[in-house]
Structures are given as C-alpha cells and as structure tokens.
Structure 1
C-alpha cells in the first residue's frame, strides 16, 4: 500500500504544521488494521472549536496543499464530511470535528497526531451494536413498495429502465443483511465480505442480474422476493420488528390481480 502510506504521511506532516489541528486520527479499515491495497484512507481531523467552521469551509484547500485532488464531494451536507479522489486515484474521506465529539473507540482508530490526548480519552472499544427493529421494518416496507411497482414493468414494457428496480431490491437485501449483524459502526459496501457470514454471501451471490428484457426483469424481481422475504421474516422475528402483514398481502394481491403471478410461485 505504498501510495496510501505516502498520502497518510503527507497529510500527517501537514497537520503537524497547523496548530488548529489538535488531533488527526485514522479510521475505517486503516484504523482497524484491516486495510489492503484497495482500501480508501479515512481521516478524522479534530480542530479547535473556534476554528471548526473556517477549517471545514476550507477543507478542500487544506487537503489540496498536499494532494492533487481531481474530485471532491460532500455526501451529507451540511455535515463536515468530505470525500476526495487524487490524480493517482487514492480515495480519501475526511471528517472535521472538535474535541469531545469524536465518534469511535481506540480499537477502531489510530492516532497520527494527538496534541491534547483526544485518543486517550476515547473508550477502549465501541459499545455493542444492536439490530434496530424500526430500521428492519423500514427496509422490508421499502422492498414491498418496489415490488408493488412490478406491474408497471410488465405494462409499460420499458425493461432498460425497470432494471433499476432490481437494483433497489438488491440494495434492500444488502441493507437488511448488514443491519442484522448488529455492527457497532457502519460498514462500507466494499467491505461487506468482511462482516457477513457465508450464508449471507451465498444469498447475495444467488440474486439474479437480469438482462434488459421484460420477462427477465420480472423474474429477477420475483426471485429477489423469494430469497429476501423468508430471511427478512426471521430477522424481524429475532429483533422484534413489526412485520407489515397487511402491506405484504396487498402487494401480493395486486401482483396476482394485474399479472396473475406473485413470488410464491416457483
């Protein structure tokens, strides 16, 4: 990982020369000693409260002083979370925060610079995660909502567009499987294989990827439902999530009435 290590070293030296930066921490896979050649670099810059607003506003210029940035985005404005891609295609995420507001634990972070003992004040390990019943129910409801649009695929016969619905269903499957792991912190999509058990990875591998053909799209969505809903019921029962029985029944009846099919058919 020579390019990532060089980038980390350059940003660290830059932070050391800026008194506003009270601490610089590695998070993500590098913070947990799980990084590989494909990992991005996740950094947390802890700055003085009086400097926070100005530092966040100038974060691109600050990072650009040591990295040739060709892409910059803020995925959750107005939160001071930023993503960058360099000309050499190193990927870097930067969070700007203040002392006392660092999210994480010593086991998931590495201090690169720590002038004020920010790292030492963190808990040794994150609190145990828990499956959120409300989130599980929301994922199931969104899955059923998309399934309820399936007759439009058949009626309008626009499979090249309808393939997007299969993508929504796949994302719902992935979100549910990750939530069921009760992880103490979010995990990126590219790290899923590190946290999901073999059974879940097999389910993901079994999900069909349709061609831009109406019948293929319809069958792919029905197969997603056959694979997703039984697993979702078990997860919901285990965590105490309410199952939307009436909504599921309405969607199945709608598919039967308009298409003569539902996911109960093999």
Structure 2
C-alpha cells in the first residue's frame, strides 16, 4: 500500500466512523485481499442502516472530498449501490453501499475491516467460493466471436477496412476473455490485472497474432489467425 493510499483510507474511515447510520466500513478488492499495488484503485464496502440512500451517498461524497478535489463522480449510475470517484491526483475510489442484511455475500478473505460497530466481520464466512465459469456467458463469447468473424466478407466486399480493424479489436477482447476462462484464475479483479490471469503460453499466443492493418489482405490474414487461435 502506498502512503497516498494509506492516507486516503485513513481519512475516509475517520470521516465516516461516527457518521449517523453507518455501521461498518471495509476495504475490498485488491486492498481487501492483499493484492494491491501502487496502481490499484481503492475499493470499499460500506454497511449503512438505510443502504445506498441519498443521505448516505452525501456522507460518502463529503468523506472522499476530504482526500482531494473530486474531478469525476458516478453516483449510483452504473449500479444502484455503487459510487465511483476520482480525485485530481487520479486516486480512484469505489464504494458499494449495502444494508446490514446484505453483507452475507461477502467473505473474510476478501475484506479488511476499517471499523465494524456491530461485529459483522466475525459472522461472515472465512473464504469466498470460487465463482467458476458461467456457461451462458461462455456460450455468448463463442457465438459472438463466430458472428464477428462471419462479417469479414461484408467488410471486405464493401472495402470497409476501418470497420475490419474494429472487428479485430472485438475478436481480441473475446479471445482474451476465453483465455481467462481457460485458466479460471482466482481473485480475477479487473482486466488491468491480465498479467496474472493468463499463462506465459497464452501471452505468447497473443503476442504472435498479427496487428490490425486496414488493408484487404492483412485483414483477411488477421481474422483467420484469430479464428485459428
């Protein structure tokens, strides 16, 4: 943990420790499971009696504002219980706000208590179950890959070579998702942890694939290479 991260965590915890309705605050994500580095964002789980209410959201925003000027705030936009914030030095903080009876989905090995007025942490299971592979998502990834490859003749026929480049980017993302599913690595985190989610052999495969070039023959060769991979 960097000194800046430690400062932000301590400031937010201190601001919320005695806030009305806030019962507990935990570190989650990479700071919660011990895998954080200097580039990690700071993830929190806050337990509030009323859940992600407007009043609790204001308490959180004010706590983050103590750590620096907020330049971006997504207040329960992406998910109803999630608030994302970025301060001027590009420190990224995320919080999921839950009611006390909603904490059961968490586990001790993925959280680090900052304060816990009601002893919630001790009642959580010790370890998180491995999520495993979602068959429906896996099927989508494969079918979507095939669908995009199947559009190659359209792009070539219309000479839409720039769209062919965009198609390759989609194929690469889908291939990476499949490689991650193949390793089924624990503590997946975000895609920015790719180095620890795929094997050296898989990395070698990705490095070997041809670059996206907006030319007919190059696009055909690249699509075929991705399909073979």
Deviation of residue 137 (structure 1)? 1.5
| Partner deviation per Cα, 1:45-88 (whole Å, 9 max, x = no partner) | 1111x353224653545533443211123686442222221100
- 1:109-258 correspondence runs (5 A): 109-183=111-185, 186-227=188-229
Number of matched residues? 226
CA 1:172–1:55: 2 relative to 1, 3 Å: farther
TM normalised by structure 1 equals 0.76
Matching residue of 2:101: 100
Q: What SS does structure 2 have at the residue aligned with 1:72?
A: strand
Q: Which moves more between the two structures, 199-208 or 111-120?
A: 199-208
Matching residue of 1:24: 25
CA 1:98–1:223: 2 relative to 1, 3 Å: same
TM normalised by structure 2 equals 0.87
Q: What SS does structure 1 have at the residue aligned with 2:118?
A: coil
| In 1: Cα distance, 2:185 partner to 2:122 partner | 23
| Partner deviation per Cα, 1:16-68 (whole Å, 9 max, x = no partner) | 131322111111111111111111111111111x3532246535455334432
Gaps of 5+ in 1: 228-266
Q: What SS does structure 2 have at the residue aligned with 1:67?
A: coil
Gaps of 5+ in 2: none
Measured on the aligned residues, the alpha-carbon RMSD in Å equals 2.3
CA 1:147–1:60: 2 relative to 1, 3 Å: farther
| Partner deviation per Cα, 1:92-138 (whole Å, 9 max, x = no partner) | 22111111323331111111111111221211111133222222221
Q: What SS does structure 1 have at the residue aligned with 2:52?
A: helix
| Partner deviation per Cα, 1:123-181 (whole Å, 9 max, x = no partner) | 11111332222222211001001111111221222322331111111111121222234
Q: Which moves more between the two structures, 181-190 or 160-169?
A: 181-190
| In 2: Cα distance, 1:153 partner to 1:215 partner | 12
CA 1:123–1:36: 2 relative to 1, 3 Å: same
